[in-house]
Every structure is written in C-alpha cells, then in structure tokens.
Amino acid sequence: MTTTTTQAAENVLRLNLGWLDYVLVAIYFVFVLGIGFIARSQISTSLDFFLSGRRLPAWVTGLAFISANLGAIEIMGMSANGAEVGLSTMHYYWIGAVPAMLFLGVVMMPFYYGSKVRSVPEFMRRRFGPGAHLVNAISFAFAQILIAGVNLFLLATVINALVGWPRWLSLIVAAAVVLSYITLGGLSAAIYNEVLQFFVILAALVPLTVFGLIRVGGWNGLKDKVIDTTSGGKVTASVHDQLTTWPGQALSGFDSPVWSVIGIVFGLGFVLSFGYWTTNFVEVQRAMASNSMSAARRSPIIAAFPKMFIPFVIIVPGMIAAAAIGDMIRLKSTGKGDVTYNDAMLLMIRDILPNGLLGVAVAGLLASFMAGMAANISAFNTVFSYDIWQDYVVKDRPDHYYIVVGRIATVAAAILAIFTALIAAGYSNLMDYLQTLFGFFNAPLFATFILGMFWKRMTSTAGWAGLVAGTLSAVFVFILSEVGVINLPGQGMPFVAASAAFVIDIVVSVAVTMVTTPKPVTELAGLVYSETPREVFGDPQSAGKAWYYRPVPLAAVALTLTIILNVVFH
C-alpha cells in the first residue's frame, strides 16, 4: 500500500555482520528449501499445487494471510511513516486492514469458498462473464509480476546497503531460492514459509522494540523525545500530531479535521483497504487453501488479531528511530540528510542489535522480502494457469498438464521479476507510479464485487464497464494530483483517488445495468446472496463449537479490541 524507494547511502547503513550472523542466516535458508522439498511430496493434483488441496488448518492460513502482506515493503514503509507522522500511521491497521479482514471473513468468504472458485478472477468470470474476467485476470497477473520485481529490487538494494553484496548477486540468489521452493512445493511451500517467516521477523522486531523502548526510557521517555517533522521549512507533523491518531491530518494532508476523519474512514478504511484485502487474490488465495468453510472464514479473522498488534513493533521502532538516532533527527528537523525515512528500521537494527541478533534480523528481512515475492508469484501462477491458460488458450487437458503449466509459469514469473527489478533499478519513479496505480485497481473491483454479490439484476456489461470507468477515474484523479490541480501534502491522494473510483464504479454499474439484460437467475446460485441456497454458505462444523471456533463471534471480539485500541490511542 505504501511505495518505497530506498536510496541508502552505503556506509551509513552498513552492518558489521560476523560469522555467527551468517550461520543464523544460513540455517534459515536450509529450512526454507527443506520446506519446499517436504511440500513436494504432497502434490498430486493441480489443486494441491495451486490451492494446497484445500486442506490447511485455519491458524496456518491465517498467519500466511498476514505474512503474505508483511513483506519488507510494509515493514520499511510503515516504520518510515511512524518516523515521519507518528501514531496516525496506526490507521493503516486499525481503520484499514483489520475491519477489512473481518469483513472478508464474515461477508465475502462464503461466496469465494462456497462457490468453489479457484481464484478471485474466476469468481468474476462466473458472475460477469469473460469481459470483466479478462480485465481482472490480466491486470492482476501483470501487477503481480511488477510487484514481485519491486520486492526483488528492494531486497537487492537493502542487502547491498546492509551487507555490501553486489546487487546482481542478491537478485539472482533470492529469485533462485523463491523459485526453487515454489516450483517444488507450490502454494503449500509458499504458505509454510510465510508462517515460518512470521515468527522469524517477530523474533527480530519484538526485541528491537523492547530494547529500543528501554533505552529511550519507556513509552513516556519516547513521548518526551519526539520532535516536530519539518519539511521545506514548514512543520508537517507537530509533536501533538505524532502522538495522537485522530484526526490524523498529518497522515491525510487535509487541512480540515472533519475532512481528514472522513478521508481516513471512507477513503483509507472503507474503499482502499476493503478493496485491497477483500479482492486481492494474493490474500484471498491463502484463505481459499483452508480445509473447511469455517476455516476459510476464520483465517482472515484469526489474522486480524496479530494484525492489530503488529504496528506496535513496526511503527513504534520507527518513532524511536526518529527520536533517538542522530541521522534521523537531522532529517526530521531539517528535511534533509544522508538517510531517508525508509531507512528508519534499518538504522534501528544497526544501532540496537548485537551480533547474533543481527543475524536473526537479517534473516527476517530476507525472509520477508522473499515471502512477499513468493506470495506474488504463487498468486500469479494460479491466475495465469487457471484463468488465462485454461480458460482461453489450451482448454480441457488432463489435470496434470496444468501443474506443468503452473511450474513453467512460476519459472517465467521469476525470470520476468528479475527483469522488472532491473527496470526498477533504472526507473524507480516509474515503478512508484505503477505501484500506486495498481493500488487503485482494487477499489473499483471491490465496488463491482459487492454490488454483484448482493444485486442479482446487475448485468455482465455493467461488470466490466463499471470496472473500467472506476479504474480510469482513479487514474484521472492521480493525474490531477500529479499536475498540481489537487494538492494534498500528506498521503491523502490515494484515499481520494480510491474513493472516486469506488463512487464512479457504482454509478456506472447501476446506469449500465438499467439498459442491459441481466443473467438468468438460475446461473447465479452461489454467486449472488439472494439466489444461493442457505446450505452452500452453511457452516455445519461451527455449530455447537466454542466462540473462538465460530467466525462471527470471533470477528466481534476482534472488532471490539480494535475499537478499544482506537479509543486508548486516540
């Protein structure tokens, strides 16, 4: 969700890795590849390869669900936000991610899992036919390659800055590692590695936060040390702004507190985050790999619990860095320096951890880059094989054929990602733009999905027309802001663009539906709420179980906790 460009001044970030650190990193790689080999023994159908045979328990898919997103882009981007605008960054989690994940589990997952589709675009095809399906499948596949490449590029840049390895070496090594475990073990290998990565990255982030807080004198010590963020001689985030979450003007860039709250709740929360978490196949694929309807619905809900506490070990270290590290303080008070905000987490690792823990941190960072890339590639190969190849190119082959296609697609994706990374190295601005644009694609998708799921009259033409109109209006707002017609100093532009996309999508979909013919009602079972027999959504396994085995009560608890967090840190 946040774009990241690291231009690290080499010597500032260089870590002094000792032999012990390398041993710890090496052990991690042995585990990663080992998981690929173990997972290989479980693959006999294409469903095994692409959806782990739908047999993983909810806690595994739940952790994979957040881990797929807890890539290094997020870790570095959100700690950068923490350093720059402070606590209002929490909105990305408490207003953004968590409610959206709960919504996915409670409302949307029954459609995805109940209709037995194998990907999000496939749901699109069954509900709206080939037009909307192609728009969705192709833009998704393209975006995944791009994002995998950006991940790879960032990994190479960070490794180069931290350890000094040449960029091409880390590029190829990382791509080779990801490639080997996914081609071997398919989605299971990706998911198991994501779960493993989750614990390794926490083993680095939690001590980092605790030791950092001890050093600055606890939470109160940190509050005393926070300073104004200045850029171009103007204070962009005052100390007060940084220590409160609402109204979050430093984050949104709106002058009026009321519009700031509306922008955050509707733009970031409802449109951007709901769009991202509920339609992004990278995430949904993890839940689809669960072993039952109940587990599929619970995986995003289980994921919501760690998700609401993770910002404490990502954003708080960013704030500590901005309050206690000389280079960062200079950047904050003058707007210039040898480092960028994106370096906040790396500076913390450099300054706090001794050799030994340093190895754990480097393993964790490598893991999160690779997990991010693996998530993109495993989602790509599924959409490519099922939605593009099987639907439009070579149909009706035996199942085994599509596993082979999937493996080839994986190799091709990894190679393409290396090339994308090389392009990113030359044109990092271009990559930032594209990534921002792909961020908008989810908002109209969400509008189309939610309308299509609950309004049986909505037609196929409305499906693709709404998508295209919505996406174009997001691009339009983006261009307006680039040429300066709209001026938002903070991160509010994506909120506005996504909101515009959402509204335009709804308006166009409704208008087009009025003048076109809907699909026959008989074809809508499992796809539209009113036409689906209740048994399809039924969840016999949940009946009579304790509350934490049932999606809705579990989601209610998670929602209550999020509200409490919002109140406590207002």
Partner 1 sequence: MASKLSHLFDIRNVIGALLAIYGVVLTVAGFAPGLVRERDKGASNNPVDLYFGTDANWWVGLALIGVAVAFFTWAWLRPVRLEETPTTSASP
Number of other residues whose CB lies within 10 A of the CB of residue 555: 24
Both tokens of 108, joined, read: 């949307």
CB of 379 to partner 1, least distance (A): 20
DSSP label at residue 320: H
CB of 26 to partner 1, least distance (A): 11
Nearer to partner 1, 313 or 324 (CB): 324
Could you tell me how many helices (H) and strands (E) the chain has, helices first? 28, 2
Quickly list DSSP for 438-485: HHHHHHHHHHHHHHHHH-TT--HHHHHHHHHHHHHHHHHHHHHHHTTS
| Beta carbons within 10 angstroms of residue 167's beta carbon | 17
Minimal distance in Å, beta carbon 206 to partner 1? 8
Tokens for 426, please give them. 């030359």
Minimum CB distance to partner 1 smaller for 284 or for 322: 322
Residue 47 or 528: the one with the smaller Cβ distance to partner 1 is 47
The footprint of partner 1 (CB under 8 A) covers 16, 18, 20, 23-24, 27-28, 31, 34-35, 38, 44-45, 47-48, 53-55, 60, 116, 192, 195-196, 199-200, 203, 207, 211-212, 214-216, 225, 320, 323-327, 329, 348, 351-357, 360
Shortest Cβ 247–partner 1 spacing (Å): 30
Residue 363 beta carbon to partner 1: minimum distance, rounded to whole angstroms: 9
- Measured from the CB atom, the residue of 228 and 351 that comes closer to partner 1 is 351
For helices 130-162 and 399-426, give the axis angle rounded to 10 degrees.
50
Nearer to partner 1, 203 or 511 (CB): 203
User: What's the min distance (Å) between Cβ of 4 and partner 1?
Assistant: 23
Cis peptide before 247 (omega within 30 of 0): yes
Q: Which is nearer to partner 1, 152 or 324 (CB)?
A: 324
Q: Using the minimum distance from each CB to partner 1, give the nearer residue, 64 or 443.
A: 64
Residues 6+ apart with CB under 8 A from 361: 204, 208, 349, 353
Which residues are within 8 A (CB) of 305 and not within 5 positions of it... i.e. 6 or more apart? Answer: 558, 561
Tokens at residue 405, please? Answer: 């296609």
Measure the CA–CA gap between 439 and 422, rounded to whole angstroms. Answer: 22
Q: With b meaning 16 or more CB within 10 Å and e meaning fewer, what string describes 188-222? A: bbbbbbbbbbbebbeebbebbbebbbeebeeeeeb
SS3 sequence, 246-265? CCCHHHHCCCCHHHHHHHHH
Residue 335 Cβ, how far from partner 1 at the closest point, in Å?
18
Name the minimum Å distance from CB 556 to partner 1. Answer: 26
By C-beta, is 320 or 383 nearer to partner 1? 320
User: Locate tokens 């500076």: which residue?
Assistant: 347
**In the complex, minimum distance from the CB of residue 227 to partner 1, in angstroms, rounded to a whole number:** 11
CB closer to partner 1 out of 210 and 563? 210
